[in-house]
Amino acid sequence: MAEFPQFIDNNRKNLSDVLRQIAPNYKTLSIATGYWDLPGTLEIIKEIENYESIRLLIGQEPLGHHLQKKFHLNIDNDDELFPDAYIKDDLESEGNSSELDQLRSTAKTMVTLIKQGTLDIRVYRQPRLHAKAYIFGNLGDGHSVGIIGSSNFTKAGLTSNSELNFLTDDYKIVEFEPKTDNQENGRF
């Protein structure tokens, strides 16, 4: 366990740094997150762009007040706007041209990965998904690393928010698939 920090809080160590540290050892990544943004993906895109499989399960963030105002909306259901309006807002809100170029490049890379069948993105609309998990490796590999905690797959969640995440490289926990309701822990 000494290779990676067990607790990640974005104070002593940023989650984005830990993800970049783990990434070269793997070719698959699965992420479940309540919220997602393009700047968060930019944090690790270079390390995962050559992966064999990336799965991203995103909860639908409630439409923020700034977006409601921007799009002159007064709606209760923003299903049609997510994630398109969010990506557009990410691309429009970045100030300098270098950051904007990096975000555009990230978006293009994501489109390429989707077309190649490498990146599978799903939006979990009901009930609201608020879980956060990052899993490198596959079930049965015997070499997986998992992180669970409070960090969304957003730039702030990976770098600057006060968060608390737990990392384990004990594949018996990460890869454990319960077969009955009585199986609660990751020991075989």
Q: Are the C-beta atoms of residues 135 and 157 closer than 8 Å to each other?
A: no
Dist. CA 102–CA 15, nearest whole Å = 20
- The DSSP secondary structure of 14-45, one letter per residue, reads -HHHHHHHHGGG-SEEEEEES-B-HHHHHTTH
Q: What letters, b where the CB count within 10 A reaches 16 and e where it falls short, cover 143-163? A: ebbbbbbbbbbbbebbbeeeb
What is the CATH T-level fold of the domain 7-174, as seen in this structure? Endonuclease; Chain A (3.30.870)
- Taking residue 100's Cβ as centre, other Cβ atoms within 10 Å add up to 15
- Across the chain, which has 188 residues, the per-10-residue mean pLDDT values are 85 96 97 92 96 92 54 52 59 68 90 95 82 92 94 95 95 85 64
pLDDT of residue 181: 80
Query: Which amino acid type is present at position 182?
Result: N
Q: What is the pLDDT of residue 1?
A: 45
Task: Copy the structure tokens of residue 122.
Answer: 């799903």
Q: Where are the domains of the chain?
A: 7-174
Give me the pLDDT at residue 73, please: 53
What is the pLDDT at residue 175?
Answer: 87
